[in-house]
Amino acid sequence: MFPLEMVKTVKIEDVQYTVIRSCMPYLILAILKKENTSTPYQIMQKIQEKLNIIMSSGTIYGALYSMERKGYIEKDVATATFKITVKGNALLSQFTSKFKKTAEDIENFLKNL
C-alpha cells in the first residue's frame, strides 16, 4: 500500500484536458462533419470556443495528418482545408455510440456506489 502522501493529487482540469486530448481525432471528425470543410486554424478556434480549452497547433496538426494517412479525412491542397471521408464518418459513428455507452456506464457506476 502507498502512503496517502505518495498519491498524486489530480486536478479536475488535468483530467478534462487528458480526456479531450485523447478524443481529439473524433472531435476533429465531428467538426469536419458539421462544417463540411475546415482549416486547421478553424478547427482550433472551434475547439477553444466550444470546450474552453486551448490545444497546441502541434496536437491539431498531428491528429490531422495521422487521420489523413489513415483515410479518415482528405486535404484539399489548393484551399488548405480538410474534409471528412466515408471512412471517417463510419469511425465517428462508432466512436459516438461507444462514448455515449461509456459515459452512461460511468454515470450509473457513480450513482450506484
CB contact at 8 A, 83 and 37? yes
Q: Candidates 1.10.3720.10, 3.20.140.10, 1.10.1040.50, 1.10.10.10; correct CATH number of 11-111?
A: 1.10.10.10
Whole-angstrom distance, CA of residue 103 vs CA of residue 108: 9
Mean pLDDT of the chain: 89
- The x, y and z cell numbers of residue 43, run together, are 478547427
pLDDT at 107 over 60: yes
pLDDT at 4 over 60: no
Name the pLDDT band for 19 (thresholds 50, 70, 90): confident
DSSP code of 1?
Answer: -
CB contact at 8 A, 66 and 25? yes
Whole-angstrom distance, CA of residue 76 vs CA of residue 31: 16
Give per-residue pLDDT as tens, 52-106: 888 888 999 999 999 999 999 999 999 999 999 999 999 999 999 999 999 999 9
Domain boundaries in the chain?
Answer: 11-111
Name the pLDDT band for 30 (thresholds 50, 70, 90): very high
Over residues 11-37, the mean pLDDT reads 89
Residue that wins the pLDDT comparison between 2 and 30: 30
